[in-house]
């Protein structure tokens, strides 16, 4: 990325959503040149599959598929299937984000039905501070589900999971979700401009 002609440098920013979020946490923790990282409803532990990088290995956070809830309409709710990463058996799955060089911004949908995003953001904050690092910026969005997309995208309360081939519930209420997406778009830009360009403010988005 740093060699790309459109990348200003000297560092790059990462934006990760859901599973992509813990991949971005891992990249920020182990790769050089990453100056700022934004996570949208992400887990602080490695999920779904073990992570291998050079001589490093991070196991996947455990889960219990038996805790899947099926609604009357047949939509799945995954919220409670994931094990607690703070329990001793799962602690090794937590990504060592204290190794990262740059700051973090966590965007948390308080009606997320896929991840316990608020809980994971709190773990990240406590871990960073325990290692003498600055606490991350965390923005909480009440009534907002898992999919915080760019402004004016319609609310996606449920969708068919690519791997499972079944519909899963994301959560969110239309009005709250719409407002959250407009605000999050501006907050993401402000965060990246500050930590990549050194600008404290940016013009309001015209979207």
Give the count of domains, the chain: 1
Is 73 a known active-site residue?
Answer: no
Query: By the 8 A CB rule, do 38 and 116 touch?
Result: no
Residues 6 or more apart whose Cβ sits within 8 Å of residue 206 = none
155, part of any domain:
yes
112, part of any domain:
yes
List the end-to-end C-alpha distance of the chain, in Å, as a whole number: 26
Identify the three-state secondary structure at position 13.
Answer: strand
Choosing from 93, 111, 112, 117, which is the catalytic residue? 112
Choosing from 113, 117, 146, 170, which is the catalytic residue? 146
202, part of any domain:
no
Tens of pLDDT, residue by residue over 74-108, are 999 999 999 999 999 999 999 999 999 999 999 99
Domain residues for the domain of 51 are 12-197
Does residue 36 carry a pLDDT above 60? yes
37, part of any domain:
yes
Choosing from 18, 26, 42, 125, which is the catalytic residue? 18
**DSSP state letters, 155-205:** P-SEEE-TTT-SEEE----HHHHHHHHHHHHHHHHHHHIIIII--S--PPP
Confidence of residue 200 (pLDDT cuts 50, 70, 90): low
Identify the three-state secondary structure at position 184.
Answer: helix
180, part of any domain:
yes
Tens of pLDDT, residue by residue over 156-181, are 999 998 877 889 999 999 999 999 99
Is 112 a known active-site residue?
Answer: yes
pLDDT of residue 194: 93
183, part of any domain:
yes
Residues 6 or more apart whose Cβ sits within 8 Å of residue 19 = 42, 43, 47, 48
- We report the CATH number of the domain holding residue 48 as 3.40.50.1820
52, part of any domain:
yes
63, part of any domain:
yes
Is 170 a known active-site residue?
Answer: no
């Amino acid at each position: 990325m740093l060699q790309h002609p459109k990348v200003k440098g000297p560092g790059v920013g990462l934006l990760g959503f859901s599973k992509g979020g813990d991949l971005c946490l891992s990249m920020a923790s182990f790769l050089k040149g990453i100056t700022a990282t934004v996570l949208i409803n992400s887990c602080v532990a490695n999920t779904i599959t073990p992570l291998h990088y050079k001589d490093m290995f991070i196991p996947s956070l455990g889960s219990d598929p038996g805790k899947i809830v099926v609604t009357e309409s047949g939509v799945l709710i995954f919220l409670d299937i994931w094990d607690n990463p703070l329990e001793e058996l799962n602690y090794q799955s937590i990504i060592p984000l204290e190794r990262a060089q740059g700051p973090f911004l966590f965007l948390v949908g308080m009606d997320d039905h896929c991840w316990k995003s608020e809980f994971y953001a709190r773990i990240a904050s406590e871990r960073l501070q325990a290692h003498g690092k600055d606490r991350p910026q965390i923005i909480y969005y009440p009534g907002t589900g898992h999919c915080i997309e760019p402004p004016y995208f319609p609310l996606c309360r449920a969708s068919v999971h690519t791997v499972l081939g079944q519909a899963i519930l994301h959560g969110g209420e239309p009005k709250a979700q719409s407002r959250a997406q407009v605000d999050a778009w501006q907050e993401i830009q402000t965060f990246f401009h500050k930590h990549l360009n050194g600008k404290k403010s940016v013009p309001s988005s015209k979207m």
